[in-house]
């Protein structure tokens, strides 16, 4: 099943940095598990990871040196994500 939902009204016709943050936060709030392939240190995706952790969400990523920032936040190895993807 797919759920199509948006926190934004129809008056928004263009994606902006602000509407992207609103959309991404909405997705995090409604997700049980989140996979982030890569996040630049200090970037918007890392900020989203911080937001998700504060919300008590489990984050998964690749266990590679480039994702040390996510792993230090508490992100789990992606192999756990594949195993738990369909766990309730």
Residue with the larger pLDDT of the pair 9 and 72: 72
Q: What is the pLDDT of residues 32-82, one digit of tens each?
A: 889 999 999 999 999 999 999 999 999 999 999 999 999 999 999 877 666
Length of the chain: 88
Q: What are phi and psi of 59, to 5 degrees?
A: -115, 140
Q: How far is residue 44's CA from residue 66's CA, in Å, rounded to a whole number?
A: 16
Give residue 78's pLDDT: 79
pTM of the model: 0.78
Beta strands per DSSP E along the chain:
33-35, 58-61, 76-77
The helix (H) or strand (E) run that includes residue 60 is: strand 58-61
Cβ-Cβ contacts under 8 Å for 48 (sequence gap 6 or more): 24, 25, 28, 36, 39
């Amino acid at each position: 099943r797919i759920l199509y939902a948006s926190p934004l009204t129809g008056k928004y016709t263009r994606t902006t940095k602000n509407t992207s943050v609103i959309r991404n936060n909405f997705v995090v709030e409604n997700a049980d598990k989140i996979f982030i392939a890569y996040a630049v240190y200090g970037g918007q995706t890392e900020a989203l990871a911080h937001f998700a952790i504060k919300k008590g969400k489990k984050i998964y990523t690749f266990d590679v040196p480039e994702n040390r920032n996510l792993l230090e936040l508490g992100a789990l190895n992606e192999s756990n994500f594949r195993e738990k993807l369909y766990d309730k």
